[in-house]
């Protein structure tokens, strides 16, 4: 079974935020496509002892995938 393509976006506001978006295939790439893609899941980053981001986790991606599958009837979404 193919999976819906997810796009990870990190906040550029310095707040450590992130969001996972479903890749819509009906958006013109010349526009800002990510702004029009549905946000499936978002949250704050968490860091390990070395300061590396540990979120989103595999569980976050799995949850976003479940949400995207529910949207696939409403939006044309890219699959891997």
What's this model's pTM, rounded to 2 decimal places? 0.79
Bridge partners of residue 44, in order along the sequence: 17
Handedness of CA 79, 41, 7, 63 (dihedral sign): negative
Q: What is the pLDDT of residue 34?
A: 73
Q: What is the pLDDT of residue 20?
A: 94
For the chain, give percent helix, strand, coil, nearest 5: 20, 30, 50
C-alpha 3/C-alpha 6 separation (Å) is: 9
* pLDDT one-digit tens code per residue, 42-77: 998 778 899 888 889 999 999 999 999 998 888 888
Nearest CA-CA partner of 38 in 75, 78, 80 = 75
Structure tokens that stand for 35 in this block: 């702004």
């Amino acid at each position: 079974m193919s999976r819906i393509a997810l796009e990870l976006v990190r906040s550029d506001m310095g707040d450590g935020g992130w969001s996972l978006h479903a890749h819509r295939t009906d958006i013109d790439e010349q526009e800002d496509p990510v702004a029009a893609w549905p946000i499936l899941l978002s949250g704050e980053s968490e860091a390990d002892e070395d300061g590396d981001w540990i979120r989103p986790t595999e569980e976050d991606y799995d949850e976003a995938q479940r949400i995207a599958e529910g949207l696939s009837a409403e939006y044309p979404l890219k699959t891997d």
